[in-house]
Amino acid sequence: MTGVRGARYDGIADWYDGYNEAAAGSHGAELARLLGPGTGRCLDLGCGTGQYAEVIRSTGRVPVGLDRSADQLRLARRRVPAAVHADAAALPFADAAFPTVVAMWVSTDVDDFGAVLREAARVLRPGGRLVCYGVHPCFNGPCIENRDDGARIVHPTYRAAGWHPAAPWWSPGGVRSRLGMRHVPLADLLTAFPAAGLVIDRVVEPRDEPLPYALAVCAHRPGA
Ligand SMILES: C[S@@+](CC[C@H](N)C(=O)[O-])C[C@H]1O[C@@H](n2cnc3c(N)ncnc32)[C@H](O)[C@@H]1O
């Protein structure tokens, strides 16, 4: 698609695919549980290299990937041949086109999380479901330092919403020291769902770490 601006993940997709593989395997099981069985097309917003496509298929749905990075899509198309090059904040789909939308680990990377949720709500059918799964803003992200003993230090940048190009405690060579990261504080993140016209059904802290890394918000478009 033309008109998609250059993307941060262009040029690192091959590296990212290997880097992300173990995490995608583990969080994929949680995504399958949150989705449960279903049918129809499932839009995977910010699909990256398509590492959740097989999980979506395993629930009975047909994945449709979408990402702003042409490089990520080059790999995603091995898993989802029809993946679309587009901006999640300006989706090239008709209103009410999908019964299910997922967004895995995108709140940290999209420029306007609220706009992405508004577009997700628009393309969902009335009654359609969104699973938005990603960084837990209180226990993960630019204000959090992981200690070797499993404790985490919260630095007083929690309220600094927006793009963080660097943090002294990010491990060298990790995705965040390469790219930076957007921080969406918890209240902003949760408030963005009703602001987009979505109804929150469940908020989940997946996996069983003593301190969660991830937060999942399951929501639906009202009106069925
Ligand atoms: C942390 S990666 C997650 C990839 C994939 N969802 C996963 O979990 O394996 C974030 C992805 O969001 C994509 N992205 C960032 N901004 C976007 C936008 N405005 N529209 C579509 N994709 C976007 C990036 O290119 C990248 O592939």
Give the whole-angstrom CA distance, residue 96 versus residue 186: 28
pLDDT at 153: 97
Task: Give the distance (Å) from ligand 1 centre to CA of residue 8.
Answer: 9
Q: What is the pLDDT along the chain (224 residues), one digit of tens a residue?
A: 445 666 999 999 999 999 999 999 999 999 999 999 999 999 999 999 999 999 999 999 999 999 999 999 999 999 999 899 999 999 999 999 999 999 999 999 999 999 999 999 999 999 999 999 999 999 999 999 999 999 999 999 999 999 999 999 998 999 999 999 999 999 999 999 999 999 999 999 999 899 999 999 999 999 97
| Protein residues whose CB sits closer than 6 Å to any atom of ligand 1 | 7, 9, 20, 24, 46-48, 51, 67-69, 72, 87-89, 104-106, 109-110
In the chain, where are the structural domains located? 13-135+183-220
DSSP secondary structure of 32-63: HHHH-S--SEEEEET-TTTTTHHHHHHTT-EE
Give the mutation target among 17, 106, 112, 133 for probing the ligand 1 site: most ligand atoms within 8 A of CB: 106
pTM of the model: 0.96
Q: Among the CATH numbers 3.40.190.10, 3.40.50.150, 3.30.310.50, 3.20.20.60, which is that of 13-135+183-220?
A: 3.40.50.150
3 state DSSP class of 130: strand
Residue whose pair of structure tokens reads 């987009």 in the numeric block: 196
